[in-house]
A and B are shown apart, each in its own frame.
Chain A
Amino acid sequence: DVKVTQSSRYLVKRTGEKVFLECVQDMDHENMFWYRQDPGLGLRLIYFSYDVKMKEKGDIPEGYSVSREKKERFSLILESASTNQTSMYLCATTGQANSPLHFGNGTRLTVT
């Protein structure tokens, strides 16, 4: 079974802080994704990566950046956290085109 591990289940940060969300997968998948999930808005893609050091913007990249230095690890960075970034953040991975995504259990981030 694919295992996608997100380092924190719950985080509380202050406005203006730099926030790192970490995701690690154990299946040697090339493709990794960051989503945020909000009530009434569903899942929205922030960034994705097809390979080490490669990144592509998703639908809502503003205010976020990502880092992929190793194949198994994909980090989401909030350069200066704001209250409208309070959300559930989900990391996902897949090995092949048109294949299902495998999700981590999410990080619930609250920015106060």
Chain B
Amino acid sequence: QKEVEQDPGPLSVPEGAIVSLNCTYSNSAFQYFMWYRQYSRKGPELLMYTYSSGNKEDGRFTAQVDKSSKYISLFIRDSQPSDSATYLCAMSAGAGSYQLTFGKGTKLSVIP
């Protein structure tokens, strides 16, 4: 079983739709969770960073962590064509860990 599973898509939605992106993981030691957005031919940029379970909201983006189910989500409200990108989840364990474990990314297209 891979440590982090992420549906690669592609996912295509109409402009204005609510998008749900998800990752599951197997390592119960993970405590820090991140979502990155990567545009074509660019490096990943950090979107959301959360610790432990719960929700975090930033504008149109909401990150949700359910540690009991080992499941994290990123919701995008009122999706825009500029949201078209690949979204990567990432996570790390505590105890001074510097290394992240990444999902393989979900490619999202928002159609005008």
Contact = CB atoms under 8 A, between A and B. Distances in A.
Interface of A: 4, 9, 31, 40-43, 45, 48, 50, 90, 92, 94, 97-98, 100-106, 108
Contacts of A50: 98
Given A98-B92, A100-B34, A43 B43 contact: no
Chain B, interface size category, equals: 20 to 34
Contacts of B49: 100
Given A42-B105, A98-B31, A98-B92, A104 B43 contact: yes
Interface string B82-95: 00000010101010
B60 interface: no
B77 interface: no
A46 B28 CA distance: 25
Given A43-B44, A48-B98, 13 more contacts: A31-B98, A42-B103, A43-B102, A45-B99, A48-B99, A98-B31, A98-B94, A101-B90, A101-B100, A103-B45, A105-B41, A105-B43, A106-B41
Contacts, number: 53
A58 B56 CA distance: 31
B1 to A, nearest CB: 16
A17 to B, nearest CB: 23
A100 B42 contact: no
Q: Indicate the member of B41, B43, B88 with the most A CB atoms within 10 Å.
A: B43
B32 interface: yes
Given A98-B31, A98-B94, A106 B104 contact: no
Contacts of A42: 88, 102-105
A103 B102 CA distance: 14
A102 B96 contact: no
B68 interface: no
A92 to B, nearest CB: 8
Contacts of B31: 98
